Amino acid sequence: MMSEQPKRKRAAKTAPANPDADTARGFVIDSDDPVEVEKSLAKCVPEWGELKPTQREELVQDSIRSRSRPTRPKVASVKKGEAVQISPPEKHQASHAIRIYEAFATSSDDIVMTRITEIQSHFAKSGDDTGQRMSAALAFIAGCNPENEQQSAMATQLALLHDAALTALGAAKRAEFMDAYEKYSNQANKLSRTFAVLTDSYAKLQRGGVQTVKHVNVYEGGQAVVADHVHTGGMNAKRSDQAHATGNIGAGATMLSYDANGIGVPIPGGARQEALQDARRSEG
């Protein structure tokens, strides 16, 4: 025991003073200067000397991109007797509390407490670190970028559905009998399908119900072409890919004649237009 004491003290000295600080996130270097990042990675990545120059450049860029990503909210779980208390980490409690409210896109204490309780209830009997798994779910929800309470509720479902599907897949893998394997596999399949449907609904909700209008043009020979985009231009602009059904419209200059209701009537050009002009010259 006496020989182990100094080892533990030396290990404690080399440990980061603040594991939640941005400068201590794995091998993400606290710099945007590629030269500085490369020097730092060369010191902390054991296999750096074995990497190709292109691989080193990739790691440098990965570190810079990772540093620019937003910090996600976290919670910590503390056991008090039979109960488990959930709260932001002891260090930087205020900043993580703000991030939790932002993750749920709300200023309502009731919404935050309800969502946190739902997540805690889901992970309470997992047997793992409840705080870590809840923090992962919060990061997932924040990554969905919800804009209001409705979207954050759907994002919460997505996070829990993902975990439930993977839990069912894990149970199927560990099953020793075929009936148990089929049971968990079917459950995982249903959960995965629900996840896919909810993801699609969430994407449509964030897009705001954008619709795609398809236009069908029938060309000479019976060939149909479907276009997703509307090409705008002048009323009589002629295009090389104009539909056969409208090939004679707008072939010449358009003339407007008087209408009793005051509506301009387009008259196509061509031979018919020339006959009208000759009649007017004879009257003069």
For the cut 50, the answer to whether the pLDDT of residue 247 exceeds it is no
Helix (H) or strand (E) holding 255: strand 255-257
Residue 223: predicted pLDDT: 61
Give the tens place of pLDDT for each residue, 7-63: 433 333 333 444 444 434 567 888 899 999 999 999 989 999 999 999 999 999 999
Amino acid at 150: Q
Tokens describing residue 232: 């705008």
pLDDT (tens digit per residue) in 145-161: 999 999 999 999 999 99
Q: How many CB atoms lie within 10 A of CB 73?
A: 23
- Identify the residue with better confidence: 194 or 220: 194
pLDDT tier, 260 (very low <50, low <70, confident <90, very high otherwise): very low
Compute CA 198 distance to the chain's CA centroid, rounded to the nearest angstrom: 13
pTM (2 decimals)? 0.63
Give the pLDDT of residue 219: 62
CA angle (115, 118, 123) in 5-degree steps: 125
**Strands 215-218 and 224-227, sheet pairing:** antiparallel
How far is the C-alpha of 96 from the C-alpha of 275, rounded, in Å? 82
Residue the block writes with tokens 């009793």: 260
Length of the chain (residues): 284
Please write the tens of the pLDDT for every residue from 134-148: 999 999 999 999 999
Percent of the chain with pLDDT over 70: 63
- The predicted-structure confidence for 70-95, as pLDDT tens digits, reads as follows 999 999 988 777 777 888 888 889 99
Question: CA 3, CA 15: separation in Å to the nearest integer?
Answer: 20
Place of tokens 């009257």: 283
pLDDT of residue 91: 83
CA distances from 262 to 250, 258, 259, 269 (A): 21, 7, 5, 21
- Residue 80 has what pLDDT? 77
Rounded Cα distance, 200 and 210, in Å: 13
**Whole-number mean pLDDT of the chain?**
76
Torsion of CA 55, 56, 62, 67, to 10 degrees: 170
Q: Which residues contact 78 (CB under 8 A, 6 or more apart)?
A: 84, 85, 87
Those residues whose C-beta lies under 8 Å from the C-beta of residue 122, and which sit 6 or more positions away, are 137, 160, 163, 164
